[in-house]
């Protein structure tokens, strides 16, 4: 197991447990702790889909574009980055595209590169940014121009504005196991129809293979193409994106991830692709990196310090932050790993009234109360999380289904900052209705597509800052 990272080794131990023991805790017994779900899963391992699985099939045709994926390509939602891989030869980096109601076909030219990782050489990776698109419009696009052409489509978001409804899917730590495929299938079939995925990090888990077998980055991208070619996924870097492996001469962190997944970081004046922001409909989304320096004076710190005052809640009422390693987690797995970043940034999140913080990393689901823990100054002893209506709700959604299995060992008793927790695979939906209300629901894979295992009405922290706690 030498190839496994330390977090993997720990999780493998969990998978080995024969029974999943779900503790039934009564709120009164656990100093106002929330709910630990009584749902009992069938115990089963998360196993990666084999290389010959249907979801990994290479599309037919000479040099056919594969691994097609899109993400937002500018700051306001009028740009789209289209990415794909060709394997036989370089081929064209041109994207041909047109709006649904137009005969007029446009072309944009991107760029192409390859990278090496140990003894792996990637295919030709193409990235092309489409700019100045119309809002709220269906576009068709084609890649592979000149050889095997493949056609896809996407919808641009509505123009940025305070009362624009928009539906985000929330997925994290997906991987490429049979359970990952179930999570994606449940997301696709959820009747609430997510329009864009906010992905909280840990994509392929290729680094769990010998020499970080980068072929598993390729299979992952082929697997998720069925969603990613048609709707943008917004990327956060997780620890499985680091691919730092000096033992095989790979000393540059994030190498496969940054070659394969481009993000529009320059549009928000960021200097690195690991922290950036976008506006989409009525949401302002800030992506942070748990695995880049965030101490005082660091680039990420200085960027965020300048970024938060720019958010205009009259234009984008909903302020959403994504980061991989959770700050409020009551699972023994990765317990307190997010603590150093919390200490640096939590006072700002309260000051600027962030609505919700989305994290992954822990392979389970958890939703917090609105809490903060910012009074402590080393000598005053005020080190307990307190109910705080200016604070965000923290959601851990690292339950995408990767091969490391579920994180079932929770702290006992459940702390009172935790509103709901459960070790099951699933995804969530954050459905913005208007400037005051958003409906949130979490969906476990064992249930029917429309079933909500946990839910909550979010009241916006600026426009409707009343108590929206579910356990009062």
Ligand X SMILES: *[C@@H]1O[C@H](CO)[C@@H](O)[C@H](O)[C@H]1NC(C)=O
Positions touching ligand X (CB under 6 A) are: 31-32, 49, 53-55, 75, 119, 178, 181, 185, 211, 268-269, 310, 312, 314-315, 332, 369, 371, 384-387, 409, 416-417, 433-434, 436-437
Q: Which lies closer to Fe ion via its Cβ, residue 5 or residue 161?
A: 5
Query: Could you give the CA distance from residue 191 to residue 442 in angstroms, rounded to a whole number?
Result: 13
Q: Which ranges constitute the DSSP H helices of 197-337?
A: 215-228, 255-260, 299-307
**C-alpha separations of 302 from 296, 328, 338, 357 in Å:** 8, 24, 19, 20
Q: Which lies closer to Fe ion via its Cβ, residue 202 or residue 399?
A: 202
Phi, psi of 121 (to 5 degrees): -120, 130
Q: Which does 467 bind (CB under 5 to 8 A by kind): Fe ion, ligand X, none?
A: none
Q: Which does 238 bind (CB under 5 to 8 A by kind): ligand X, Fe ion, none?
A: Fe ion
Q: Which lies closer to ligand X via its Cβ, residue 259 or residue 387?
A: 387
Map tokens 């928009």 to a residue.
166
Quote the least distance from Cβ 211 to ligand X, whole Å.
6
Q: Which does 409 bind (CB under 5 to 8 A by kind): ligand X, Fe ion, none?
A: ligand X
Quote the least distance from Cβ 194 to Fe ion, whole Å.
22
Q: Which lies closer to ligand X via its Cβ, residue 137 or residue 411?
A: 411
Q: Per the omega criterion (within 30 degrees of 0), is the bond before 461 cis?
A: no
Q: Which residues bind Fe ion (CB under 5 A)?
A: 202, 238-239, 361
Nearest residue by C-beta to Fe ion? Answer: 361
Question: What is the SS3 assignment for 184-196?
Answer: HHHHHHCCCCCCE
Quote the least distance from Cβ 90 to ligand X, whole Å.
20
Q: Which does 93 bind (CB under 5 to 8 A by kind): ligand X, Fe ion, none?
A: none
Q: Which lies closer to Fe ion via its Cβ, residue 73 or residue 326?
A: 326
Quote the least distance from Cβ 242 to ligand X, whole Å.
20
Q: Which does 369 bind (CB under 5 to 8 A by kind): ligand X, Fe ion, none?
A: ligand X
Q: Which does 417 bind (CB under 5 to 8 A by kind): ligand X, Fe ion, none?
A: ligand X
Pairing of strands 318-322, 283-287: parallel
Of the candidates 324, 334, 361, 443, the residue annotated as catalytic is 334
Closest CA to 14 of 240, 325, 332: 332
- Contact (Cβ atoms closer than 8 angstroms) between residue 214 and residue 206: yes
Q: Which lies closer to ligand X via its Cβ, residue 37 or residue 416?
A: 416
Quote the least distance from Cβ 177 to Fe ion, whole Å.
15
Q: Which lies closer to Fe ion via its Cβ, residue 86 or residue 330?
A: 330
Query: Could you give the CA distance from residue 229 to residue 227 in angstroms, rounded to a whole number?
Result: 6
Closest CA to 221 of 210, 230, 229: 229
Q: What angle do CA 240, 67, 396 make, to 5 degrees?
A: 35
Query: Could you give the CA distance from residue 408 to residue 362 in angstroms, rounded to a whole number?
Result: 10
Q: Which does 239 bind (CB under 5 to 8 A by kind): ligand X, Fe ion, none?
A: Fe ion
69 is known as an active-site residue: no
Quote the least distance from Cβ 102 to ligand X, whole Å.
29
DSSP letters, 285-318, are: EEE--TTS--STTSHHHHHHHHHGGG--TTT--E
Quote the least distance from Cβ 464 to ligand X, whole Å.
9
Pairing of strands 80-86, 124-130: antiparallel
- Contact (Cβ atoms closer than 8 angstroms) between residue 133 and residue 163: no
Residues involved in catalysis: 334
């Amino acid at each position: 197991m030498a190839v496994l990272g330390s977090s993997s080794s720990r999780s493998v131990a969990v998978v080995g447990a024969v029974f999943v023991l779900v503790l039934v805790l009564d709120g009164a017994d656990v100093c106002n702790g929330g709910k630990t779900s009584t749902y009992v899963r069938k115990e089963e391992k998360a196993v990666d889909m084999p290389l010959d699985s249907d979801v990994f099939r290479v599309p037919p045709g000479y040099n056919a574009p594969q691994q097609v994926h899109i993400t937002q390509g500018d700051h306001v939602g009028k740009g789209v980055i289209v990415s794909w891989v060709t394997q036989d030869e370089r081929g064209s980096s041109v994207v041909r595209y047109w709006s649904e109601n137009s005969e007029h076909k446009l072309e944009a030219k991107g760029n192409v590169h390859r990278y090496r990782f140990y003894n792996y050489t990637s295919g030709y990776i193409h990235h092309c940014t489409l700019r100045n698109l119309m809002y709220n419009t269906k576009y068709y696009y084609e890649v592979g121009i000149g050889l095997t052409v493949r056609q896809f489509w996407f919808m641009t978001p509505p123009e940025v504005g305070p009362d624009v409804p928009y539906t985000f899917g929330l997925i994290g730590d997906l991987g490429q196991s049979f359970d990952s495929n179930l999570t994606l299938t449940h997301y696709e079939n959820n009747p609430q129809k997510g329009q864009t995925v906010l992905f909280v990090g840990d994509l392929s888990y290729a680094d769990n293979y010998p020499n970080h077998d980068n072929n598993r980055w390729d299979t992952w991208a082929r697997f998720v193409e069925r969603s990613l070619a048609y709707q943008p996924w917004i990327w956060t870097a997780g620890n499985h994106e680091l691919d730092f492996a000096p033992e095989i001469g790979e000393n540059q962190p994030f190498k496969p991830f940054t070659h394969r997944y481009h993000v529009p970081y320059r549009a928000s004046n960021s200097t690195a692709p690991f922290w950036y922001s976008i506006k989409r409909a009525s949401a302002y989304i800030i992506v942070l990196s748990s695995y880049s320096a965030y101490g005082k004076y660091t680039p990420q710190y200085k960027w965020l310090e300048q970024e938060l005052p720019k958010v205009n809640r009259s234009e984008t009422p909903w302020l959403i932050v994504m980061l991989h390693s959770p700050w409020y987690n009551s699972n023994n797995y990765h317990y307190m790993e997010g603590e150093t970043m919390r200490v640096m940034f939590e006072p700002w999140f309260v000051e600027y009234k962030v609505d919700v913080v989305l994290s992954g990393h822990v392979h389970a689901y958890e939703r917090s109360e609105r809490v903060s823990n910012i009074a402590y100054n080393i000598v005053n002893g005020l080190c307990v999380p307190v109910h705080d209506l200016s604070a965000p709700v923290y959601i851990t959604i690292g339950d995408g289904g990767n091969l490391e299995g579920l994180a079932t060992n929770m702290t006992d008793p459940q702390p009172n900052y935790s509103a709901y927790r459960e070790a099951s695979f699933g995804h969530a939906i954050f459905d913005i209705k208007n400037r005051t209300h958003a409906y949130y629901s979490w969906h476990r894979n064992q249930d029917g597509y429309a079933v909500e295992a946990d839910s909550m009405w979010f009241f916006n922290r600026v426009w409707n800052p009343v108590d929206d706690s579910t356990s009062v």
